[in-house]
Amino acid sequence: MNPQTAVNAASLAQPVIIATRESRLALWQAEHVRDRLLADLGLRADLLGMTTRGDQILDRSLSKVGGKGLFVKELELALESGQAHLAVHSLKDVPMELPEGFSLVAVMEREDPRDAFVSNHYDNLDALPQGACVGTSSLRRVVQLKARRPDLRIEPLRGNLDTRLRKLDEGGYDAIVLAAAGLKRLGLANRIRSVFEVDQMIPCAGQGALGLEVRTGQVALAAALQAFVHQPTWLATHAERAVSRALGGSCSVPLAAHAVIDAAGVLHLDVALGHAGDPSQPLLKGHQQGLVSTTAEAEALGEAAAASLRALGGDAYLAGSAAL
Ligand SMILES: NCc1[nH]cc(CCC(=O)O)c1CC(=O)O
């Protein structure tokens, strides 16, 4: 710990209270941040577990019940009331626009951003027999699966990771698709039969990364949390999130956006947009790349990628998705 950090830390209320959902993955992530606060910054932290609407509504697709904000709202209420100081989120569950008064102050180094193919019988998508049943409730995954395998029967699958794996094991599906990051964090990497390469299944904006949110104006805490910002992940995820924001960024849009920064500082951004209303429509795809070193430059690249999707006819796709 450097002395400057220690001085900043000393001025903070302790313990730092971390608001978190109570799924096993959310707890793992919050504990990870708690442990790093202590190890890297000498700050004591405790968890405040909460249940969100997104955890309660399990029988409907999230795209139908209000989308991503459902996982973060209760945590924000805890920040607002002062019950908690910090919320730890899977960045991909964080809406593109935070409500007034809240700030995303750090994005930590990302885990594997790819999607995983999980099955008890088949090694990968190509090995699935004609008409096999695949579980996922993500429109982004549905349209990319359908693009490669129009014959598949895709069935809804919700719940936390353990629930989804149990539903697979009970025989309800031939395979399911999950984020590799969540499985790895929970020590379930052995369940992954294969990972989809990014060009086969472009991940969701922010997939695999953790976002840290505080109330705007928590200057000392925000400053301390800068120690956790992983700049390549910050820039990549801001480019990805800018694509989603520019296209109206809700769960009802089957949008994929994934960026990486190479050693030379060039950000490579891949995007894909599907038609939720008519999966037989071809995926629209785009790519942008450029040297970026600031958040604004990363976001500009994301906006250019969104514009390229619109130029391919993306507005009709977005209108079709909104009608669902
Ligand atoms: N949508 C739920 C969700 N939010 C974060 C993860 C996994 C971890 C991550 O991507 O950071 C998952 C599960 C999944 O998509 O399979």
Question: Which superfamily is assigned to 237-322 in CATH?
Answer: Porphobilinogen deaminase, C-terminal domain (3.30.160.40)
pLDDT score, position 26: 94
Q: Do domains 3-110+208-229 and 115-195 have the same CATH topology?
A: yes
Is pTM beyond 0.95? Reply is: no
pLDDT tens, position by position, 169-194: 999 999 999 999 999 999 999 999 99
* DSSP letters for 281-313: SPPEEEEEEEE--SHHHHHHHHHHHHHHHHHTT
134-154 residue pLDDT tens: 999 899 999 999 999 999 999
Angle (nearest 5°) at CA 146 between 141 and 149: 120
Q: What angle do CA 151, 256, 264 make, to 5 degrees?
A: 130
From 90, 109, 114, 204, give the residue whose CB has the most ligand 1 atoms within 8 Å, as the site to mutate.
90
- Mean pLDDT within 236-240: 98
Mean pLDDT score of the chain, rounded to an integer? 91
Superfamily of domain 115-195: Periplasmic binding protein-like II (3.40.190.10)
Catalytic residue, chosen from 55, 93, 126, 151, is: 93
Q: Assess whether 262 carries a catalytic annotation.
A: no
**CATH 3.40.50.150 describes domain 3-110+208-229:** no
DSSP conformation class of 234: H
Q: Where are the domains of the chain?
A: 3-110+208-229, 115-195, 237-322
Whether 185 contacts 29, CB under 8 Å: yes
- Ligand 1, CB cutoff 6 Å, lining residues: 90, 92-93, 178-179, 181-182, 207-208
Report which protein residue has its CA nearest ligand 1's atom 15. 179
CA-closest residue to ligand 1 atom 7: 182
Q: Decide if pLDDT at 90 tops 90.
A: yes
Residue owning the nearest CA to atom 9 of ligand 1: 208
Closest to 33 (Cα-Cα) out of 101, 125, 108, 111 = 108
